[in-house]
Amino acid sequence: MNATTTTPDRDLVRSYALEGSETAFRALVGRHVDLVFATALRQVGDTGLAEEITQNVFVHLARKAPSLAGHETIAGWLHRSAILESKARFRSEMRRRRREEVAAALAETELQGRDPAADLSPLLDEALLQLREADRLALVLRFLEERSLREVGNALGIDEDAARKRVSRALARVTEFFRSRGFALPSAGGAALLSQATQAAPAVPAGLASSAAAAGLAAGGPASGLGLLLLSVMSLTKTQTALLCGVLVLAPLAWQSASLAHAQREVDSLERDQVRFDGQVADAKQELAQLDRALLRVRNETAAARTQLAQMKDGLSKPATDSTTSGQYRWDDNSPLVRLPKRLLDDLRIEGNANPQGELSAEIRGVLQLTDDETRKVQSAIDRFSAAYQKLILKIGRPVEPTPHQLGNRSRDRVLVLEFKGLEKPARALFEDLMAELQTMLDAERLMLLAESGKSWVHHPDVDHFSYSQSVFIEDHRLCIEQVDPSSSTVAQPFTNLHILVFFGENMTSINGIPAVSITRIPTVVSHFARPLIQPWLDAIRQRVPSSPPEKSTLAKP
């Protein structure tokens, strides 16, 4: 046994995992390198490969040190790791051939009368690997590391007698492993194999412990984060572990209980606030009732005082009025304006717009008493509305086929029907924007007079009014246009002598039961916004109609 120190494996692993102690790690390597090398050599049968496997096992130890800190000894873990690492190097075919060679050697040994235990050593580690962890560790410590039964018991946490029974039970299972595979071993064959494996173990190559320790230290390092937490948990005793589990179970319950208590305190506080608030509301209601009674009393006293004052005035003599001394306003007879009661304005027909473009008339400017600045602002708003309405008309207007009712007895080539469908919503929005803007410039009375005077320019569907001079329609409609006498239209006056019908309604064929509103033989303003759509049609008609020849003179020749 090549142990260089009497410090338990648990303390050495913990020192390396927490502090990265190279001394502790080298002590572990020196203590167990014989076990690992011998195990690997039995598996692979090659010294160089066994050395490489030994280094890899201690590299794994350096990496997994935090999880091994709770083990009293790591011999069992190293033995198992050496076997697994060795098996990883061989394929199943090589292992099968190895068993065949062992069986052949065993048969030859039996024929020669030699002890067969020496030829079964390659299968010994596989038999150990089939045992439970505690049983395998007991055999590894007792035979492969040559420890006493007392040391085995201390490592397993049992007494010496229990350690002896566990070793015996494990040896019986190893013997049963070989018997199940056809190798007739005596009852003490397992112990003999293990003792022989220990005695026959070759000397560890010089420098292997140093190289294994260097490889492990290069791959490992001090534990941190989760590794430290795991190391701390694993180093706890059973009692401490039980207490920790209890704390972990009770912590959520304690937190929940504290949360419920806090919530209950908040509820109690809110209930107290609610009671206090209800009391304040009741006091406020009572105070409000008192104020209402006081206000009613003041109103009654005020009414009584006014009545008494009126009675006193009736009892006083009224002085004679003198217009020369009273300072009353007198109307200037030379003023260009006339004063009228406002109620008479409803009976007056005031044209608010002087032309189809919406220019304010002189009459409406005088009636509204618009200043020059107000006139400019109002006219600018109307001009913006006209420009937007013009774009809307040109965007949605399109020629359509007239219905028989719309065509009547007119010639089809002399009739143009323009449909303005989908006009109502955007046109109404434009008109409402105009009125909202004018509202910021004029007071309510003047705005009402301006809107009333504009009925002859804007036909609004909400107003039961129609005039032949209207050119702005805020609803869907059709214009049915007939050129009565194409030769009479000139370049200067292309829109003269037109017969125009305006159709409203759901199918744009009538309005209020009347077939159409007719505007006949006038340069009508109703076509002002639609003139760009009508002009090409008029030009085409004039091109088709030949010029009239000059009339012959009816005077007699001399």
Expressed in angstroms, the distance from the first to the final Cα of the chain is 166
Name the residue with higher pLDDT: 299 or 460. 299
In degrees and rounded to multiples of 5, residue 145 shows phi and psi of -105, 0
Q: Name the residue among 494, 515, 519, 489 with its Cα closest to residue 504.
A: 515
For residues 179 and 173, the answer to whether their CB atoms sit within 8 Å is no
Name the residue with higher pLDDT: 264 or 145. 264
Strand, helix or coil for residue 359 = coil
Q: Where along the chain do its domains lie?
A: 9-235, 238-274, 348-544
Indicate whether 521 pLDDT > 50: no
Question: In angstroms, what CA-CA distances link 92 with 99, 166, 177, 337?
Answer: 11, 32, 20, 124
As a whole number of Å, the CA-based R_g of the chain is: 59
Give 276: exposed, middle or buried? Use CB within 10 Å, 0-12, 13-18, 19+: exposed
For residues 143 and 194, the answer to whether their CB atoms sit within 8 Å is yes
What lies within 8 Å, CB to CB, of 494 at 6+ separation is 535, 538
Q: pLDDT of 331-367, one tens digit each?
A: 677 776 677 777 776 677 788 787 888 899 888 888 8
Residue 326 CA to residue 484 CA, distance in Å, equals 68
User: Can you give the pTM of this predicted structure?
Assistant: 0.39
* pLDDT at residue 320 in the model: 52
Residue 537 CA to residue 546 CA, distance in Å, equals 16
Question: In angstroms, what CA-CA distances link 259 with 186, 249, 251, 269?
Answer: 69, 16, 12, 15
Tokens of 393: 């008309």
Indicate whether 522 pLDDT > 50: no
Percent of the chain with pLDDT over 90: 18
- HSE-CB of 99 using CA atoms within 13 angstroms: 15
Q: pLDDT of 253-294, one tens digit each?
A: 888 888 889 999 999 999 999 998 898 998 899 899 899 889
Indicate whether 391 pLDDT > 80: yes
Q: Name the residue among 527, 467, 471 with its Cα closest to residue 497.
A: 527
Neighbour-count burial for 528-546, b at 16+ CB within 10 Å, e otherwise? bbbeebbeebbeebbeeee
Q: Angle formed by the axes of helices 75-89 and 121-129, to 10°?
A: 120
Indicate whether 328 pLDDT > 90: no
For residues 477 and 502, the answer to whether their CB atoms sit within 8 Å is yes
* pLDDT at residue 551 in the model: 46
Per-chain mean pLDDT for the chain: 77
Name the residue with higher pLDDT: 357 or 152. 152
Mean pLDDT, rounded, for 48-69: 90
For residues 427 and 461, the answer to whether their CB atoms sit within 8 Å is no
* pLDDT at residue 79 in the model: 92
Strand, helix or coil for residue 70 = coil
Rank 173-177, 184-188, 369-373 by mean pLDDT and report only the highest.
369-373
Mean pLDDT, rounded, for 107-125: 62
Name the pairing type of β-strands 458-459 and 472-473: parallel
Mean pLDDT, rounded, for 236-259: 77
- Say which amino acid occupies 443: D
User: Which of 13-22, 150-159, 245-254, 385-394 has the least mean pLDDT?
Assistant: 245-254
Tokens of 100: 């065949």
| Cα Dmax for the chain | 176
What lies within 8 Å, CB to CB, of 488 at 6+ separation is 496, 497
* pLDDT at residue 429 in the model: 93
Indicate whether 452 pLDDT > 70: yes
Q: Name the residue among 403, 387, 389, 414 with its Cα closest to residue 478.
A: 403
- Say which amino acid occupies 496: T
Rank 26-35, 89-98, 126-135, 527-536 by mean pLDDT and report only the highest.
26-35
